[in-house]
Structure formats: structure tokens, C-alpha cells
Amino acid sequence: MKRLLALFVFTLVAGLPLGCAADKKIVLIAGKPSHPSGMHEFRAGCLLLQQSMAGVRGVKLEVHDNGWPASDAAFEGAAAVVIYADGGGRHPAVQENRKALLDSLAKKGVGLGFMHYGVEVLKDNGGPEFINWIGGYYENSWSCNPMWAPEYKEFPAHPVARGVKPFSNHDEWYFNMRWTEGQKGVTPILTAKPSDQVRDGPYVHPKGPYPHIQAAKGRTETMMWVMERPDGGRGFGFTGGHTHAHWGDDNQRKVVLNAMLWIAQAEVPKNGVESKVTPAQLAANLDDKPTPAAKKKK
């Protein structure tokens, strides 16, 4: 009788859908609205990535907008936290006691990821933490942010690059990060060689050119990277994502979705995360931003 009961219980548990009780939770934090329509669409971008991950079993993406979750309870049970927001001194991660909160999560093995402007923090406010969490960060006037179209042709043998095919988008791709010493623990994922013209500027801000950027002509640069921390935790930085329409590129979307799974220590599918996005999905959930003409009237 006991054997029959044990077999019955096992059958019930085995029959449950994967992820029913143990989904890995990935918290996506979308920054407050900024920039003109179609740019820095943090909320729409996060919701689109959430939709694109819907077919992956065993993970659950939760989107929190307006810069930070309403309660720190949102981080309970998180396997990873990804922030897509404005950076610098306004970075949501460096406000109040949030660096300490994220650091405590990182020390528990929670993965951390930052996208576009979200990879930029101040050298003395967030810089040391980013070096520890993800291996690098954008430093104003050291790193640069030109509008250009890097050609991503080759990828490393890494789970985050699974199924990613060559692609190119004209966007604000940052490069020349501040790195861990010797880039220890860092694996470049998206790399390309800026032309001499790109290095000569202008950059978006400050316009440059910066002599140290010009002096590195011919060097391959890293626009997306991952890091495995000494404690086993993981992180990534992705410098693209300025232009919302580029989330319609299957390969840009895939490499970011793969990265989210990887830092959450979930299995990345053999061919990467497959998803499709329609024009209607791209046009949905955009922030209500005043047009330049409307601003002039005020």
C-alpha cells in the first residue's frame, strides 16, 4: 500500500508542468520616460522582452516601471535583476540605499544586468560596484557614445551567443568601458571595429573627439559583455537599445534574452531564445512623451 501511495505521489509531481513551483524570477526594472518618442522606451522595451520570453519554460519575467519597484519585496526570490534606464548620477541603482540592496543580492548569487544608458554610472558612485557586479561600466568622457552601425559578425562559444547570427543596427552603441583589471572574468559577446571616422566623432555627448579614443584606431571594441564573478554570480552589460525599433531585430533581441537566462543561471536553449515580434507589438506601450512642437508651445 505504501509503495502504491508513493508511486501515486511521484506520478502527480512528475506530471506537473516544468516551472510550476520553481520558476526562476527575473526582475526587469524600466526607467522613467526620457528622450523623444521611439528612444529610451524603457517600459515598452521591457514589456516586449517579457512577451518574447513567454515561451521559455522555467522562468518568469516581472516588469516594474517608473524607475524602481514600489516595494523591495519585488526582489524576494529573484534569480536576476536587469535595469534598463537612464544612468549617470540619476541612475536608479545609485539612489538612496539601493547600491547596498543590489550588492546584498549579488553576494547571494543573484545575476545583475544593465542595458544602454543603464551601464553608465559615476566613477565614485556606482563605478566600483559595477566593476564587481558586471565587470565594467561606462565612464563619462572616458567611454564614448557615437551613433554608428557596428557589424557583429563573429561570436564566442558562450551560451549567451547561442543561435545569434550576424547583424548590424545603426544606433548609439557605447564603447571603451572601464573594465576589471585585465578584464578578468569578462567575456566579450558583441564586438566590432569602429572606423576611423566613428572614432573621430562627433559622439552624442560630449561631442568630442577624445584623443584617447582616436589613439586606439584599428582596435576591436566590446559593445556587450558578460561576467562570471568569483563567487559564482553572473552579470552582463549591453550598450545598445537607444532606438526602440531595433528590438524588432531577432538577433539583438535573442542575445539579450539569452543573457537574461544566463545570469539567472537558467538553461539557454541550444539555438537561443526564439521569438517573433510584430509591428503592432513594437508600437505598443510607448511612453506618452510630448512632441518637440508641443514643447515649444509651452
- 160 assigned to some structural domain: yes
State the Cα–Cα distance between residues 216 and 294, nearest whole angstrom: 43
The confidence score (pLDDT) of residue 289 equals: 82
CATH at 50: 3.40.50.880
CB 31 within 8 A of CB 118: yes
Task: Provide mean pLDDT across the span 113-128.
Answer: 98
The more confident residue out of 230 and 292 is 230
Structural domain count, the chain: 1
- 13 assigned to some structural domain: no
- 282 assigned to some structural domain: yes
State the Cα–Cα distance between residues 52 and 12, nearest whole angstrom: 30
- 63 assigned to some structural domain: yes
Whether the pLDDT of residue 279 is over 50: the answer is yes
Q: Whole-model pTM?
A: 0.91
Looking at every residue in the chain, the average pLDDT score rounds to 92
The confidence score (pLDDT) of residue 292 equals: 53
The confidence score (pLDDT) of residue 6 equals: 44
- 15 assigned to some structural domain: no
pLDDT in tens, 66-89: 999 999 999 999 999 999 999 999
* Residue-number span of the structural domain to which 249 is assigned: 21-297
Whether the pLDDT of residue 295 is over 70: the answer is no
- 83 assigned to some structural domain: yes
Q: In this structure, are strands 234-238 and 221-228 parallel, antiparallel, or unpaired? A: antiparallel
- 100 assigned to some structural domain: yes
Whether the pLDDT of residue 1 is over 70: the answer is no
CA dihedral 51, 54, 55, 60 (to 10 degrees): 150
- 5 assigned to some structural domain: no
